[in-house]
A = this chain, B = another copy of it.
Amino acid sequence: MNFLKDFTMEDTFFGKREELLSSTILPYQEAAIKDQIPGAAKSHAAANFEAAARFQKTGRKTEEFYGEVFQDSDVAKWLEAAAYSLLKTPDAELKQRALELIHTIGEAQYPDGYLDTFFTLKYPERKFTNFQDAHELYCAGHMMEAAVAWHECLENDELMQIMLRNADCLYEHFIVRKNPGYSGHPEIELALLRMYKATGEEKCLQLAEHFLNARGQDPMYFLKESKARDWQLGNTSFNTDPYYAQNYAPVRKQRKAVGHAVRAVYLYAGMAAYAKLAGGTVFSDDAKPAGGTGLSDDAKPAGGTGLSYDAKPAGGTGLLSDGKAGDAEMAEACRALYESITTKQMYVTGGIGSTYIGEAFTTDYNLPNDTVYSETCASVGLIFFARRMLDLEPLGEYADTMERALYNCVLGGMQLDGQRFFYVNPLEVDPAVSGVIPTHRHVLPKRPKWFGCACCPPNVARLLGSLAEYAWGRTKDTIYVNLYLAGRLELPDLGVRILADTGGYPYGGDLFYRIIPERPGKCFTFAIRVPAWSRNTRVTCDGKNVEIKDGFAYIKGPFMEETKVTVILDMEPHKVYANPSAAADNGKVAIQRGPLIYCAEQADQEADLFSIRAEEDGGIHVLPFDEKTLGGIVPLELDARAEGEFDGLYSFKKPEERKCRLRLIPYYAWGNRETGRMRVWIPE
């Protein structure tokens, strides 16, 4: 089964965003990588492949490489997103253009499978000598993910064949010839595992396993690699920092999320996917999956000893307590790393990465709101990681984290019209400071046009295009609702349809699911998430209460007739308090309603935003849904006090205050009006 194909979205909130993907985001990004946008930073990403293809044909270099060393990945991410979009919104011309691009990519490949336009055009003799910075394996990984998407969504294997040849080339280099190295920027690990699950090609699994096993065995590996060559790329100081690229220890020994946040969560996602696969004798012949969805794990090899939760032993956690568990160490590392992020290093918006220096994690509870990095890609990667943790262990909190990152940081990364994107997602902005002074130069108060480095926009695009994979989950006998998307899920093998009516979610909290057996139903369990933010949730099945466990409500089949599952979420808004060790939030509150974190923008206030404090015992007022504002929102108002005029820099005189209401909008919608001050954490 394949949720991308089997689920049809009919969601008021995400439907329009899915529509933006085909109407706006993909065309804009296609024009960008083809240098067709006047005034935008030159990309040359498509042209690099064309030039490399000409070089393969003629042996002559007619054009220089241009762009970042990872420019190829922009093409890959666009192709991946295009596959998702084409599945739902067929467009013969778009498909034709994409296939031409894929064809060019094939022509740009060396006969041995090597593919990377930077090295092909610039320094062929330097290939495979700089895994720290050169992003060869990272670009390959993204192209592999695109190949999986074309394979699964469009049954087109042209790119898959190219990337299987590329995997052969890597297999030859790393496994056969035993050359050292692994990617400074993880990504290929999770991509190879998707390739393996899609095709059953064992070389992909072996390579992924090799990269994971090799990482961090020698924390000084990148430094040695750097000294072994007479050329460098970029900021080589990171070479000496084994935390930056998460190779400070073998991955199974890692417990703290460190370094470049995107690299980290891509690695951890690969680790979690591997831990799930490694549930048993993964190299035995019967372990080859028959092809699958890449993300959902119905393809779990037969005969395994079981990390899947339907197979949970009584009394244990299911994850580590099974003595026969294949790679318990890997699973344990994943859980520790997940906790390191979500219980110590995550912004309330689901953003991660506290500093622009290395775009990195810093230390526990260091969560500055104004100098934050919180890259959109990092939250996309956190969703990848949490989704794979859900596969390992069906705890609702993993889905809560996906939801937090998706509805707040990731959606906030995109302008409402889909035309502009943030890389950095601050929780406090002052246009006099943000984007202006050196320590805040990376924090922009409004979304800019296409960047020279364009990682985030296509990452958002491919996530929006494949939301069904995140919203739904499945083990052998359970269907999971992880995220609440309205629509229709067909499960042909179970002979069942599931209709999801999620009302005005995330603004409304009354969810209605109908399980409709179309032929005598197989026995399976329907599990729907009960989010931790809902303090009082009522789940009923045909009017009867349902047992809730570890963040999911389980309704056991068989379903002989239509069955109604109703989830009434508690949509009371709440003040959120932060741990006192998070010094930046001391004495402040954030406001959350449903999955949405709110923020205050200057545009909505009569007084200076920075002069307004929440009343300690004040209420939060829920205003009616306002369809005309910011694409439709439920605004909130907070009982507050505003200071009067303040004279000078410091004063002994307590500023005069008057009661007021602080108007709040969902964080994802900020920065869509005039530029002004914004903050999530409000002094109380």
Interface-located stretch among A171-179, A200-208, A357-365: A357-365
A583 partner, pick from B344, B358, B430, B651, beta carbons under 8 A: B430
A342 partner, pick from B343, B366, B649, B684, beta carbons under 8 A: B649
**Which B residue's beta carbon lies closest to that of A679?**
B583
Contact with B along A581-620 (1 / 0, CB 8 A): 1110011101010000000000000001011010000000
8 A-B contacts (beta carbon < 8 Å): A342-B649, A343-B648, A363-B432, A370-B583, A439-B439, A577-B646, A580-B643, A683-B683
A437 partner, pick from B363, B533, B577, B581, beta carbons under 8 A: B363
Contact with B along A523-540 (1 / 0, CB 8 A): 000000000010100000
Which residues of B lie under 8 Å from residue A355 when comparing CB positions? 437-439
In the assembled complex, the CB of A613 is this many whole angstroms from the nearest CB of chain B, namely 5
Interface-located stretch among A188-196, A629-637, A652-660: A652-660
A370 to B366, CA, bound (A): 11
Stoichiometry, as copies per complex, reads 2
Is A116 among interface residues, defined by CB-CB distance under 8 A? Answer: no
Which residues of B lie under 8 Å from residue A608 when comparing CB positions? 580-581
Which residues of B lie under 8 Å from residue A574 when comparing CB positions? 652
In the assembled complex, the CB of A536 is this many whole angstroms from the nearest CB of chain B, namely 12
In the assembled complex, the CB of A260 is this many whole angstroms from the nearest CB of chain B, namely 12
**Which B residue's beta carbon lies closest to that of A430?**
B583
Main secondary structure of the interface of A (DSSP, over half): loop
The answer to whether A439 and B357 touch across the interface, beta carbons within 8 angstroms, is yes
Which residues of B lie under 8 Å from residue A564 when comparing CB positions? none
The answer to whether B610 and A580 touch across the interface, beta carbons within 8 angstroms, is yes
Which residues of B lie under 8 Å from residue A154 when comparing CB positions? none
The answer to whether A362 and B433 touch across the interface, beta carbons within 8 angstroms, is yes
**Which B residue's beta carbon lies closest to that of A582?**
B649
A363 partner, pick from B362, B363, B428, B433, beta carbons under 8 A: B433
A655 to B348, CA, bound (A): 17
Which one of A365, A437, A649, A654 has the greatest number of beta carbons of chain B within 10 Å?
A: A649
A428 to B611, CA, bound (A): 22
The answer to whether B371 and A428 touch across the interface, beta carbons within 8 angstroms, is no
Is A579 among interface residues, defined by CB-CB distance under 8 A? Answer: yes
A449 to B430, CA, bound (A): 38
The answer to whether A580 and B646 touch across the interface, beta carbons within 8 angstroms, is yes
Given contacts A363-B432, A363-B437, A430-B583, contact A343 B649 (CB under 8 A): yes
Per CB-CB distance, the 4 closest pairs between chain A and chain B, nearest first, are A587-B683, A580-B611, A357-B438, A362-B437
Is A311 among interface residues, defined by CB-CB distance under 8 A? Answer: no
A438 partner, pick from B346, B358, B438, B655, beta carbons under 8 A: B358
The answer to whether A344 and B649 touch across the interface, beta carbons within 8 angstroms, is yes
**Which B residue's beta carbon lies closest to that of A610?**
B580
Which residues of B lie under 8 Å from residue A588 when comparing CB positions? 587, 683
Given contacts A343-B648, A346-B649, contact A586 B439 (CB under 8 A): no
Is A522 among interface residues, defined by CB-CB distance under 8 A? Answer: no
Interface hits, A315-349 → B, CB 8 Å: 342-344, 346, 348
Which residues of B lie under 8 Å from residue A587 when comparing CB positions? 587-588, 613, 683-684
Is A40 among interface residues, defined by CB-CB distance under 8 A? Answer: no
**Which B residue's beta carbon lies closest to that of A653?**
B577
A365-B649, A579-B648 are known; give 18 further A-B pairs, CB within 8 A: A343-B648, A355-B437, A355-B439, A365-B432, A371-B371, A533-B652, A574-B652, A575-B652, A577-B651, A577-B653, A577-B654, A580-B611, A580-B643, A581-B610, A586-B610, A586-B613, A587-B587, A587-B613
A643 to B590, CA, bound (A): 17
The answer to whether A575 and B613 touch across the interface, beta carbons within 8 angstroms, is no
Interface size for chain A: under 10, 10 to 19, 20 to 34, or 35 or more residues? 35 or more
Is A436 among interface residues, defined by CB-CB distance under 8 A? Answer: yes
Is A578 among interface residues, defined by CB-CB distance under 8 A? Answer: yes
Is A623 among interface residues, defined by CB-CB distance under 8 A? Answer: no
**Which B residue's beta carbon lies closest to that of A439?**
B355
Is A231 among interface residues, defined by CB-CB distance under 8 A? Answer: no
Is A576 among interface residues, defined by CB-CB distance under 8 A? Answer: yes
A212 to B172, CA, bound (A): 68
Which residues of B lie under 8 Å from residue A342 when comparing CB positions? 649
A317 to B663, CA, bound (A): 46
Is A650 among interface residues, defined by CB-CB distance under 8 A? Answer: yes
A579 partner, pick from B592, B646, B684, beta carbons under 8 A: B646
Which residues of B lie under 8 Å from residue A580 when comparing CB positions? 608, 610-611, 643, 646, 655
The answer to whether B683 and A652 touch across the interface, beta carbons within 8 angstroms, is no
In the assembled complex, the CB of A360 is this many whole angstroms from the nearest CB of chain B, namely 8
**Which B residue's beta carbon lies closest to that of A341?**
B649
A649 partner, pick from B360, B437, B578, beta carbons under 8 A: B578
Interface hits, A431-480 → B, CB 8 Å: 432-433, 436-439
**Which B residue's beta carbon lies closest to that of A613?**
B587
A443 to B608, CA, bound (A): 31
Which residues of B lie under 8 Å from residue A583 when comparing CB positions? 370, 428, 430, 433, 610, 679
Which residues of B lie under 8 Å from residue A578 when comparing CB positions? 649-650
Which residues of B lie under 8 Å from residue A679 when comparing CB positions? 583
Contact with B along A240-254 (1 / 0, CB 8 A): 000000000000000
Which residues of B lie under 8 Å from residue A651 when comparing CB positions? 576-577
In the assembled complex, the CB of A622 is this many whole angstroms from the nearest CB of chain B, namely 16
Which residues of B lie under 8 Å from residue A346 when comparing CB positions? 649
A360 to B648, CA, bound (A): 22
A343 to B649, CA, bound (A): 5
Interface hits, A627-684 → B, CB 8 Å: 643, 646, 648-655, 679, 683-684
Which residues of B lie under 8 Å from residue A430 when comparing CB positions? 581, 583
Interface hits, A347-392 → B, CB 8 Å: 348, 354-355, 357-358, 360, 362-366, 368, 370-371
In the assembled complex, the CB of A643 is this many whole angstroms from the nearest CB of chain B, namely 6
In the assembled complex, the CB of A513 is this many whole angstroms from the nearest CB of chain B, namely 26
The answer to whether A366 and B437 touch across the interface, beta carbons within 8 angstroms, is yes
**Which B residue's beta carbon lies closest to that of A346?**
B649
